[in-house]
Structure 1
């Protein structure tokens, strides 16, 4: 027993003296405590443990739970330590086992390869692959590393038949690309990498199952390093510096410089699809450029043009954008492409990637050369816009070298510097510089210009002027970029959802201005985009077409038009020319724009003409916009409807100007087809067909014409079609189709002559002529007084022609007025005419509104049977408040013009002498008012006027008392339009004044306040002319 104690004592002493043996010490002490053969006092051991706290960790590693609990140590600390220790062991043991297994496997592989006789005889090359697979499966080895060892073993056989046999045995491998890629990555670390990689490149070039694209991730440096280096040159620090600065395939540099391209030609042809850059390989690039020149001028391959093109494209793809380092080579290459495409257009598909990946991105490497841009455009303009767009889109993001990125960054700064300094005064000077930059950076210039336009719409005019030195290629990229911006998911409305976004409005205006200024830009693509969007129900893109038509043709539909301008719409060309201040140059420019737009709409193929398709798309959008638009804002819906209506009027006016009546008749479908098949509104169809209907009507009434009979037959056919297509039999029982067609066939100049405008214009011209000096006019080279006298005479002649036209047309039209109304009831025809004819047409335009008022007055003046002029206006004033509320903003302007004209006519008859001269002769006024004398009938007429005024006042007050925006805004707008003729009575005027005053003070909507204050200011000017006497006494004051 004592010997055992002595051995334990000596072990404990050793463990105490050497801290590294602390675990042994605790093991001895614990064993002694548990052994009954050893006389170890547990209390003594506990004291030793507590005396030396540094040894507690060792104790926890060796003690068990019972001992720790007996010694009253912390069981929690021991449990956590035990858990961490077991976890560590659990994770480390598999790694250790795997490492040991890998070491054993690689040792086995090395010994197998070393002992193999393949390096001398090559007889077991196929068995070597099998043994490698066995080792990988047995020892779980990395296949890439195993085959890397195999490549090292057979490297000396690269030029022998045994190497070829080994390469053949690899064909069954499905991961050959990964194997070769890993090998190339390791080769990049060796100084003699060009020799090491020869064998691998040979295999990559010859084996069909090698996926070249899978090699790219194994090559160095990573693409990100190029961008980081470019950013560092711009002052932006890269994220990290972990990437190598060596270019991919750097081992080709020394290979190409020593033995030329022929030794690795097969390899190059297989890896060109990788997009590898040659920016850091000047020797290789120079040799490839030389070989490319030889291929272009090689006469031996002329018999096989396809093979020659493929070989040239291989080299071009490998050079990438660096093919443009040589301007002469680039020119020869583009000329060759032109010849190839001219002979066979199918080659465009092969040349398209070369332009997108090589030629366009490489333009910054050249000096500004407009000839090269012209050559590129001659090749790409034969492609459709979709293909050209893909080219531009891809070329915009191609960056093959840090140098190219640096050049583009410098160009960005130069372009923005020019655009910031640009103004109308220096547009020519800075435009030259911008055009020079656009020769090398067309895509960059396009991007910067559109950014500037969207941010600053007031810069559109100088920017368009500055683009005059750009090439067709730049304009094409600009067109594509504009369309790309239109197709983006960015909202075209502001955040309030009621107004167009600034960027969208600016781009629409820019597109129209650009296309007006430069006639070489194609319109077809933009029109196709608009048509496609309209077919998809995108109404907002109509704003593009609106700006396009207004800029090219000068056709604009104005919302706020004065009464003089509305009357001028019925004047002749001489009078309109005096006020438009348009020169012959402007007229020629408009006609060129109209012809250009017509050519673009029709296209080269008549079967693909967009003329009718655009018309139907716009008309259907106008009809469906209220139901299809997901918006609860009536104001916004009204604005969209007005935009559609304006574009429709613009487009129809363009068709009437660009096409003759015969051409329009041949191009448009029949009226019945438009009404029934396409289900267009009758007002739109007749507005479109009016030139045809008007010519047919006057030709059928002209008995001296040889074509009168054919036109008469066509007129009868139209009557039958209209009767079969529109409304019901109840309508045709009241009104004849003849009257219906006549109403929709005439224009304003057929029923109205602005005599007052001609009188004022002639008086002003005579005045100027009498005071003019003897100076000569610059246009006619005649004295100024002679020119004014001739102008006054021409105005007088034009006025007489208009009067004769209206008189002759009125006489011809009124020949058949006896058959217009087909019932004896006076009330029904007036209501039907108002509902089916007047109200739909008076909301088309200002001219149509004025026409409706004058046509109805013409019908009343002709004493048309069973048509009551008084019943017509009584029905109108009974429903006028509802009609005002049912209008959009534009429609309300047109309806107000109609009301103004009608009320002006009624107000003019307030004078007794005028009433006696114009109204007393009508049977309707004598019969309806039931008075035997003129004075009594005139008094009854004043009472009727007061009743209508009271009814109108009551309806408008009802609208103004509501909170609905459309009711209040439309009513105020109508009041402003008719302020000269309504109100007339002081009592009714004060009611309206009080209500409008209350709105201006209490309403929180700013636009409503603005309109109400404007009306109050106009009303204050008219209050002095109000009549305070009742209608009975008004006749006395008139007499």
Structure 2
């Protein structure tokens, strides 16, 4: 037998003969060479040098193919004018014809094919290693030969674990070859040769879809075994195999799918494997597929360009009318190359948001794998670092982000796409302190669960939101909640399965403050407010979704106690109680049902007793937990029981919206009648719709009855608990301050329902005759100074705060408009006492009560203070002040203004805003114009001041032609029959709360008329005033003796007496000097009078302020005589004028007195009418 080298030279000579152009090497020669190599008769290294082409030539050819593919791809993406298209195509054909020449045979590939067919994998692998990646497999014959070898290798294992039940197939015979790969019996055997052969195949596994399906099914079988086998000894081996399968999916399966033209079956088969991977593994594979795979092979480069070109063609023609036809084309294109298609579609949606609806409708022909890829592409588009999430003005969120958020909500609701990745993305963004992407979560919850968050709710919707879940669904939202059961269940499952419910809530609650304090310095104030509102609204929406969809056990299991939320997770108190509130309601209800089953009794008294017992068992730990939330001094005024009760109840617990239930029931009845009267509806459908409406009607009626029973139990509980709510350890004013600071103000701006709840709770505490709660002080503190609250609100908070004020004003207006109602609901109530005592309470003492006429004076004072605050905000020129006060004024328009001159003052200022902001700030102009129009329509309901409250008779006789006074007038008289006392609430302590005054009669002589005649202080009027002051002092001294003789009281009375005498003496000297001084000398005395009056202002005397207001009214009267209509509103002087001119020293000092910097939402400005209360602090 010849030497191996001699055989090799002979074969080399034969191969050399067939290397001439247009010569074809016979296959028999390849088979002989392969057989000789297989039996070790020749060496591959000796034969390889005789084969053509050279390795350098192969590498150059591979590079040329890649560059040509990229060039073709660039041409496909280029925009070519129609006239040039035909010429370019002709030139390309000519070039191709010139280049066409049959290349010589690649003898190395021929030998490789022969080796693979006989199963000599070792020699074949050596040849493939000499070539570029996937070069050899790019030839179909070699790819098919390699696929056949893989078939034989995996056959035993596939027959054991991969064949579907009921499937039949012919078994493949193994190669009888010592050099052939060993057939795989276990998953571990796949690591030896199978995975290696597949990696050489790469994307060219597409030539054999059957082998593709086998590999996928083997992967599914392995994943099931991997998930079920938890033995620690095999854990490392299983992890290695998992990594191998992931590599095969990345390098072989996904690229091969790209080269399979429109094979939906393979896409679904592959999803059967991919759905067993965690979503982060899947998304990593999709990222590799989209961003790297398409640039690794010439064929994939061309496929990517062709897919983009086809996608452009479809998207250009996509409309609402041809959704079905275009949807089928999108489906076919997406089966093989979903990443490229969706990337282009999302880029178009970011530019044109009107494509969202037709695109969503056209996605119904996608496979499950395509939907999962779509979710990844959306997340990748959201996380694109090259795109700014703010517009160039840095005040609003970019439109592309809003478009993607809308698409997310629509797509995830309509199609069964896994939500875990998107929810985790939002969570990670919140962890990083970024709140822009909360817009996505808001859209997803709104679309999938049907829960809307808006502050533009109508009164009917707001009323429906205070009822049960069924009433909320029917009448509480703008759109009817239909067919959201499945989508909301999918959202709930995604949150619970991945433990994201509580982390999202806590991160959103913490991010609210992060928006202001961590990001606020870098962003525009308008954007900061918008982000804060978005974060807060999403928290409320998301918390409402969890409360309504999670079971009691799931909710209690995941939400920690209130002290853990606040102290450990640093959750703000309002958000912590918002999250805990449903838990308390669930616990009380379940405990109540448990007690009812244990002791059967139908009597109402027994039921109430059981309900009280359930409340006590559930809320006692809460009462103990809230003590750690605030300093110990807080609980000197408020008891933890009162604090927890306020924060744990909702409007559902306090009142039943009967009219809302009736309204929805009547709608359903009308709907049934319309169905019966419609002859076009088929009988079976008619019957089905009637049954649905009837069932819904019964559900609403049952829900109403259930809520009625619940409200009765809650009110009875509050009635029993009220005596222990408030302690009398400090003044009423301090108690009200803490109630406002810790309870009322934080919650009234939390949501629209909470705003209504706060107003209703104050009224309820008053109606329950709660000891130590002063209703008058509470209302006075709310209305007296709203500037600070309005200035610190965001846009949405302004809506809620305005709604809260409107509800408070509704109650006040009801009492003001009817004496019978006032006497029934306010007289003999402790909240309307005008004398505060440290101990004891005599609600029946009429002398201690505020009578109806004086209450009307007080209401006018509150309206005046609202006007003054509104004018101040409108005249600051600050965007936030103007926007917020216009929103608040719009909300309270049904109840304010009711006095004609106050409405005129507002109308003048708002008209000025319209003129100034028309070209500067269009959003302010729109708000001002809207309010101005609605204010004019309300003018017919306004009344003159003398009809709103009765003036003092002496003031009328002094100014017989007087009409209503402007807000800047000197003063308004209180009823002379009511005992008054100056300084009974210290200004420094009360900071502008209810202020008793004894100057009502003296101020009456100074009231200026609005008909142009200025009031002149006559000698007779001065004497009468002096006599009344003297008699008032005597009465006051007698009253002080009767009230108490403690050293502190005596010292206080002595100081007040000395101050009154000193001020009275200075006034009398000034008047006498004025009367004795001639006209020429009187002008010289004016500077001295000015200095004296400024001294009085510094000393805290209110007369100087009232005299200045009198001069303002006189100016107003004179301006009216000249026909200046706008001067009627000019009497309102803002503490901060709009102009930048230097203000006078006197105005500066007056403003110091008329304003304060207290953060407790109070006012020290003395209005026209001070509250005529006789108050003795404990």
Q: Which bracket does the TM-score occupy, shorter chain normalised?
A: 0.7 to 0.9
Q: Deviations over 1:244-264 (max 9, x none)?
A: 999999552333366666678
559-568 or 778-787, which deviates more: 778-787
* Counterpart among 925, 929, 943 of residue 857 in structure 2: 943
1:833 to 730, 739, 742: 739
Cα 1:782/1:246, change in 2 over 3 Å: closer
The residue aligned with 1:977 is 891
Q: Which moved more, 1:620-629 or 1:377-386?
A: 377-386
Tell me, which stretches of 5 or more residues in structure 2 are unaligned? 13-18, 50-54, 79-87, 156-172, 175-181, 227-237, 596-604, 837-843, 954-962, 964-1178
- Counterpart CA distance in 2 for 1:900 and 1:464 is 42
Distance in 1, matches of 2:877 and 2:47, equals 80
Q: Is contact 2:334-2:341 (8 Å) kept?
A: yes
User: SS at the partner of 1:302?
Assistant: coil
Q: CA deviation at 1:870?
A: 0.5
Paired position in structure 2 for 1:124:
none
Q: Deviations over 1:894-915 (max 9, x none)?
A: 1111000000111111222322
Please say which structure displays the higher CA radius of gyration.
Answer: 1
1:30-87: CA deviation from partner (whole Å, max 9, x where unpaired): xxxxxxxxxxxxxxxxxxxxxxxxxxxxxxxxxxxxxxxxxxxxxxxxxxxxxxxxxx
Q: CA deviation at 1:821?
A: 1.0
Following superposition of structure 1 onto structure 2, how do residues 70-81 of structure 1 map, counting pairs within 5 Å? none
Q: Distance in 2 between matches of 1:204 and 1:1006?
A: 84
Q: Distance in 2 between matches of 1:307 and 1:761?
A: 68
TM-score (norm 2): 0.65
1:362 CA displacement: 2.6
Q: 1:610 aligns with which of 495, 500, 508?
A: 500
Map of 1:317 onto structure 2: 199
The Cα of 1:1005 is off from its aligned counterpart by 0.5
Deviation, structure 1 residue 695:
5.0
Q: Which residue of the partner structure matches residue 460 of structure 1? A: 356
Pick the aligned partner of 1:347 from 241, 244, 247: 241
Whole-angstrom CA distance in 2 between matches of 1:336 and 1:791: 51
Correspondence for 2:871 among 944, 947, 957: 957
Q: Show the counterpart of 1:357.
A: 251
The Cα of 1:583 is off from its aligned counterpart by 11
Question: Does residue 1:253 correspond to 2:158, yes or no?
Answer: no
Partner of 1:506: 403
- Whether 1:750 aligns to 2:657 is no
Distance 1:158 1:871, change over 3 A: farther
2:923 is the alignment partner of 1:1007:
yes
Which residue of structure 1 aligns with residue 568 of structure 2?
677
1:663 alignment partner in structure 2: 554
For residues 262 and 861 of structure 2, what CA distance do their matches in structure 1 show? 80
Cα-to-partner distance string for 1:511-553 (whole Å, 9 max, x where unaligned): 222111122x211222222212211112112112111211211
Residues 295 and 918 of structure 1, relative CA distance in 2, 3 Å threshold = same
| Aligned positions, number | 846
**Alignment correspondent of 2:336:** 440
Equivalent in the alignment of 2:134:
276
**Contact (CA 8 Å) 1:602, 1:609: kept in 2 or not?**
yes
Moved more, 1013-1022 or 312-321: 312-321
- 1:429 equivalent in alignment to 2:346: no
What secondary structure, in the 3-state scheme, does the structure 1 residue paired with 2:310 have?
A: helix
Q: CA deviation at 1:726?
A: 1.7
Q: Does 1:909 align with 2:815?
A: yes
**Take 1:691 and 1:896, find their aligned partners in 2: how far apart are those partners?**
26
The answer to whether the Cα contact below 8 Å between 1:775 and 1:784 also exists between their aligned partners in 2 is: no
Quote the Cα distance in structure 1 between the aligned partners of 2:700 and 2:299: 71
State which of 371, 390, 398 in structure 2 corresponds to 1:493.
390
Q: 1:258 to 1:741 in 2, by over 3 A?
A: closer
Q: Name 2:941's counterpart in structure 1.
A: 1025
Select which of 673, 676, 693 maps to 2:584: 693
Whether the aligned pair in 1 keeps the contact of 2:755 and 2:800 (CA below 8 Å) is yes
Give 1:645 deviation, angstroms. 0.3
Q: Tell me how far apart the structure 1 counterparts of residues 393 and 926 of structure 2 sit (CA, whole Å).
A: 20
Say whether 1:733 aligns with 2:636. Answer: yes
Contact conserved, 1:674 with 1:685, CA < 8 A, in 2? yes
Report the equivalent of 1:89: none
**Partner Cα separation in structure 2 for residue 517 and residue 259 of structure 1:** 53
Unaligned runs of 5+ in 1: 1-120, 122-154, 164-186, 207-212
**Structure 2 partner of 1:385:** 279
Contact 1:719–1:737, Cα closer than 8 Å, also in 2? yes
Q: Is the 8 A contact 2:112 2:127 kept in 1?
A: no
Equivalent residue number for residue 292 of structure 1: 150
Q: What does residue 791 of structure 2 align with?
A: 885
Distance in 1, Cα, partners of 2:865 & 2:273:
72
Shift of 1:283: 3.7
Q: Hey, what's the Cα distance between the residues in 2 that align with 1:997 and 1:912?
A: 36
**8 A Cα contact 2:809 2:895, kept in partner:** yes
Contact 1:696 1:712 in 2 (8 A): no
Q: Which structure: greater helix fraction?
A: 1
Closer, same or farther: CA 440–828 of 1 in aligned 2, 3 Å: same
**Over residues 912-939 of structure 1, what are the superposed CA-to-partner deviations in whole Å (9 max), with x where a residue is unaligned?**
2322332224244364599959998111
Change (3 A) 1:916 1:788: farther
1:680/1:471 Cα in 2 relative to 1: closer, same or farther (>3 Å)?
same
Aligned to 1:376: 270
Taking a change above 3 Å as real, the CA distance of residues 570 and 709 of structure 1, as seen in their structure-2 partners, is: closer
Contact 2:154 2:184 in 1 (8 A): no
* Alpha-carbon spacing, 1:559–1:245, altered in 2? closer, same or farther (3 Å): farther
- Say whether the 8 Å CA contact 1:226–1:401 is kept in structure 2: no
CA distance in 2, matches of 1:218, 1:419: 39
SS of aligned partner of 1:301: coil
Distance 1:784 1:351 in 2: 53
Structure 1 residue 1012, shift from structure 2 partner? 0.3
For residue 156 of structure 1, report the CA deviation from its aligned partner: 7.0
Partner of residue 899, structure 1: 805
Q: Distance in 2 between matches of 1:732 and 1:954?
A: 35
- Alpha-carbon spacing, 1:264–1:203, altered in 2? closer, same or farther (3 Å): farther
Q: Which of the numbers 911, 916, 920 marks the counterpart of 2:827? A: 920
CA distance in 1, matches of 2:695, 2:872: 55
**Is contact 1:719–1:741 with CA below 8 Å preserved after alignment?**
yes
Which residue pairs with 1:600 in the alignment? Answer: 494
Offset at 1:944?
Answer: 0.4
Q: Distance in 1 between matches of 2:106 and 2:577?
A: 75
Match of 2:622 among 706, 718, 737: 718
| TM-aligned CA distance change 1:501 to 1:937, over 3 Å | same
Matched, 1:846 2:752: yes
Report which structure shows greater RCO (CA 8 Å, sep ≥6).
2
Shift of residue 852, structure 1, vs aligned partner: 0.6
CA contact (8 A) 1:201 1:267 kept: no
Separation in 2 of the partners of 1:215 and 1:342? 47
Matched, 1:813 2:718: yes
Change (3 A) 1:399 1:696: closer
Q: Give me the whole-angstrom Cα distance separating, in 2, the residues matched to 1:833 and 1:393.
A: 55
Change in 2 beyond 3 A, CA 1:890/1:313: same
Structure 2 vs 1, CA of residues 783 and 439 (structure 1 numbering), >3 Å: closer, same or farther? closer
Give the match for residue 627 of structure 1: 517
Indicate the SS of the match to 2:270: helix
SS of 1:398 mapped into structure 2: helix
Aligned ranges 1:788-807 → 2 under 5 Å: 802-807=707-712
Change (3 A) 1:1024 1:352: same
Cα distance in 2 for partners of 1:719, 1:352 equals: 54
1:959–1:968: 8 Å Cα contact kept in structure 2? yes
Counterpart of 1:70 in structure 2 is none
Partner of 1:331: 213
Distance 1:302-1:284 versus aligned 2 partners, 3 A rule: closer
Residue 1015 of structure 2 corresponds to: none
State the alpha-carbon separation in 2 of the partners of residues 761 and 302 from structure 1.
69
Matched residue, 1:146: none
Q: 1:434 to 1:697 in 2, by over 3 A?
A: closer
